[in-house]
Amino acid sequence: MATGSKTNLKEGLLRPIKNNKVILYPDKTEYRDWNGQVELLNKKGYNLACSRLAEEIDLEEGCDLADYYLPRLTSGKIVI
């Protein structure tokens, strides 16, 4: 699921998946903001976790996991 922008992590958009366990993967440098929002939403009954993966791999600021994996998939460096 994509939020469409880094500011779209909102309860109204997440309500349809409230009863599911969801791991969120924010863009690089957005972990702190998203994790704060996750903590607030979990107090309202959501079951969310926020991954730090983008913070820990070689990505430019604002990039996401697709920016990391898609070039590798198309180059044949990752095989599914």
Look at the block and give the residue holding tokens 């604002």: 62
- Among 41, 49, 38, 45, CA closest to 19: 45
The whole-number pLDDT of residue 78 equals 66
The pLDDT confidence band at residue 79, using thresholds 50, 70 and 90, is low
Amino acid letter, residue 14: L
Tokens for 11?
A: 């309860």
The whole-number pLDDT of residue 71 equals 85
In the chain, % of residues over pLDDT 90: 61
